[in-house]
Amino acid sequence: MDIAERRRHDSLAEDALVTSELEARLRDLTGRLGTLRRRVASASGAIGRATVRAASDDGEVTVTVDLSGAVVGIEFGPAIRSMRETDLAAMVVAVYGRAVAQASRLAADLGACVRDAALPGGDPACPPLA
């Protein structure tokens, strides 16, 4: 084998190695993309279904919100009958604020889960939703 043939042979071998490495990286990225797609679909569904409940310290007011902060339920205990309207209103607003803060944290956790699934070396397991 002369020098020119040897160089062509070496070049082809190097090209095959590079191609093999690129194909392996492409398979890995394709797998990560599939994981990310599934994670986004799962998180989207979870976000659409998730609600958060918060209660006053005495349990007389409970507010349930979805992850956008929209109220989906308010429950009152019997002791509210003896409360002043302004005190009850303040309690509802305070409990609503707690519920929204919890919903915001949950939404952020879901977003982080989706993000982490896409990162190289990231943990692909999302925490289960309560």
Across 24-56, b (16+ Cβ under 10 Å) vs e yields: eeeeeeeebeeebeebeebbeebbeebebbbbb
pLDDT digits over 29-80, tens only? 888 788 778 777 776 776 778 899 999 999 999 999 999 999 999 999 999 9
- The chain-wide mean pLDDT, for the chain, equals 82
Please tell me the CATH code under which domain 3-118 is placed.
3.30.1310.10
